[in-house]
Amino acid sequence: MKVSICWFRRDLRLKDNTALHMALANDSAVLPLFIFDSDILKELPADDARLSFIHAEISSMDVELTKKGSSFLTKHGSPLEIWEEILKEYDVEAVYMNKDYEPYALKRDKEVAAFLSKKGIQFHPCKDQVIFEENEVLKNDGKPYTIYTPFKNKWLSQFDQNEHLPLKDSNFENLYQTNIDLLNLENLGFTKSSIIVKPFTLEEVAEYEIMRNFPAKDGTSYLSPHLRFGTVSVRQIIQKLKSNDAVFLSELIWREFFMQILFHFPRVVSESFRPKYDTIKWRNNTQDFNRWCEGETGYPMVDAGMRQLNQTGYMHNRVRMVVASFLCKHLLIDWRWGEAYFAKKLLDYDLSANNGNWQWAAGTGCDAAPYFRIFNPIEQLKKFDKDLIYTRKWVRNLNEFSYPQPMVDHKGARERALSTYKEGINSYTG
Ligand SMILES: Cc1cc2nc3c(=O)[nH]c(=O)nc-3n(C[C@H](O)[C@H](O)[C@H](O)COP(=O)(O)OP(=O)(O)OC[C@H]3O[C@@H](n4cnc5c(N)ncnc54)[C@H](O)[C@@H]3O)c2cc1C
């Protein structure tokens, strides 16, 4: 029997899923597939919280599929080898998948598409995780935007809610009838993490503009891991927004802005967007870096953020900006070190957003904070957590002897950062 395969990756939902919807609209029966990519898994700790989340989401989708007489096919290995294996097991007519714009995914999908096309199998990449993808929001001269505000204005001028509505219910009668056991975490060499992904909420969004900067207020949506792994579609979220949710929408546009930056300028993965900033002589002191990672800098807001990250896989956006600035400016540690640490820990880790925001904080990015804008971690605390509600929650020993003295003096560190940045930029000859 001929089957179509819907290859799930960062789109872990059965509702309003473009690739699945398209596959089910077709004639041949549809088998959902997830490949636990051994190249990605080998970089992760045994109790990685993202993997636990992915596995839990696949398991609950599998329960739904079982009710409809079908099930997920899960495989573990290198994607190309898995596809060779699948073609031996099934008579595959077509493969549907939602596009992923990260460099690794683009390369992987190109290789798989070439392999399938050699075998005469149709490959259907679909747009799903964004409203506008790579080349849909461009300047009038056809070049990509590198500044956020004009990108946002163009995005908004092109956006018509009626064209981006969630998809109608899919025809699940067309699922492939089968009963396959899921791979469990142990089969993959992993254990369940104690860290869990919070459900998202749009309740607070009404007051988002006022509340979003106060980490004690719980005033943001917690959407990020859900958008990252596609447990909800961006269309569903935007449909639920009200006309006064412009600030919230603009954050979703930041997400797409950084995605298209990564797509058009993949060199940002290892280089500063603005090359003159790759001349900065970072101090890169490992002991300082470890104190930052552990939340032992002696600056309460920085330490609260890092401890929140280590314990929960999440950190409030305001605090992310403060800790990132502190690492690059106060400690003069390369933004790439901080970016890599966040990549290990964040539940919502997304290459484009993480890279874009780190480069923003370091002042090296496309539309970055100017390098001489150095957050004062004490003033930030006074302004955004003056009653220490957030800070005390994560820094339990704040007033105890065990809490360290500030590891650097703010004024001295600020001056050192300014002169080091200036020296680097002035030495640029490119
Ligand atoms: C140094 C640093 C690193 C970051 N790394 C990541 C990352 O790896 N993954 C990630 O999703 N976000 C990242 N962010 C952006 C932001 O901090 C998170 O998206 C946000 O805190 C997630 O919480 P929320 O869903 O409650 O956000 P909300 O404030 O409710 O925002 C709603 C959604 O808008 C998007 N969004 C909001 N702010 C940004 C932003 N600055 N850039 C891009 N998208 C945004 C996210 O999808 C978010 O879920 C980073 C920010 C900084 C300063």
- Best probe residue, ligand 1, of 317, 323, 347, 352 (max atoms within 8 Å of C-beta): 317
Those residues with Cβ within 8 angstroms of residue 29's Cβ, 6 or more apart along the chain or in another chain: 1, 2, 3, 4, 174, 175, 176, 177
- Return d(Cα 131, Cα 139) in angstroms, integer: 17
- Round the average pLDDT of the chain to a whole number and report it: 96
Cβ of residue 251 lying under 6 Å from some atom of ligand 1: yes
Q: What's the pLDDT score for residue 203? A: 79
Q: What's the pLDDT score for residue 367? A: 86
Residue 242: pLDDT over 90: no
pLDDT average, residue stretch 263-270: 98
Closest to 329 in 3D by CA, of 382, 275, 288: 288
Residues recognised as catalytic: 251, 254, 282, 317, 335, 358
- Return d(Cα 328, Cα 326) in angstroms, integer: 6
Looking from the CA of residue 356, the nearest atom of ligand 1 is 42
Domains detected in the chain? 2-127 (3.40.50.620), 130-166+204-264 (1.25.40.80), 270-425 (1.10.579.10)
Q: Using alpha carbons, list the distances in angstroms from residue 175 to 29, 88, 172.
A: 5, 20, 6
Residue nearest to atom 20 of ligand 1 (CA): 317
Cβ of residue 258 lying under 6 Å from some atom of ligand 1: yes
Does this model's pTM top 0.95? My answer is: yes
pLDDT digits (tens, 9 = 90+) for 85-139: 999 999 999 999 999 999 999 999 999 999 999 999 999 999 999 999 999 999 9
Residue 274: CB atoms within 10 A of its CB come to 17
Count the alpha carbons within 13 Å of 394 in the hemisphere toward its beta carbon.
26
- Best probe residue, ligand 1, of 357, 359, 366 (max atoms within 8 Å of C-beta): 357
- Residue at token pair 């802005």: 257
Cβ of residue 205 lying under 6 Å from some atom of ligand 1: no
* 80 contacts 111 by C-beta, under 8 angstroms: yes
What's the pLDDT band for 368 if we cut at 50, 70, 90?
Answer: confident
Chain center to CA of 392: 28
- Return d(Cα 90, Cα 116) in angstroms, integer: 13
Cβ of residue 292 lying under 6 Å from some atom of ligand 1: no
Say what percent of the chain tops pLDDT 70.
100
Looking from the CA of residue 212, the nearest atom of ligand 1 is 29
- Best probe residue, ligand 1, of 240, 251, 350, 384 (max atoms within 8 Å of C-beta): 251
Looking from the CA of residue 338, the nearest atom of ligand 1 is 1
Q: Using alpha carbons, list the distances in angstroms from residue 356 to 235, 280, 368, 391, 413.
A: 23, 18, 9, 26, 24
pLDDT digits (tens, 9 = 90+) for 186-224: 999 999 999 999 999 887 777 898 899 999 998 999 999
The secondary element (H helix, E strand) that includes residue 30 is strand 29-37
Looking from the CA of residue 348, the nearest atom of ligand 1 is 9
Looking from the CA of residue 224, the nearest atom of ligand 1 is 49
Helices (H) then strands (E): counts for the chain: 18, 5
Cβ of residue 123 lying under 6 Å from some atom of ligand 1: no
pLDDT average, residue stretch 374-396: 98
Cβ of residue 346 lying under 6 Å from some atom of ligand 1: yes
pLDDT average, residue stretch 319-339: 98
Residue 73 β-bridge partners:
33
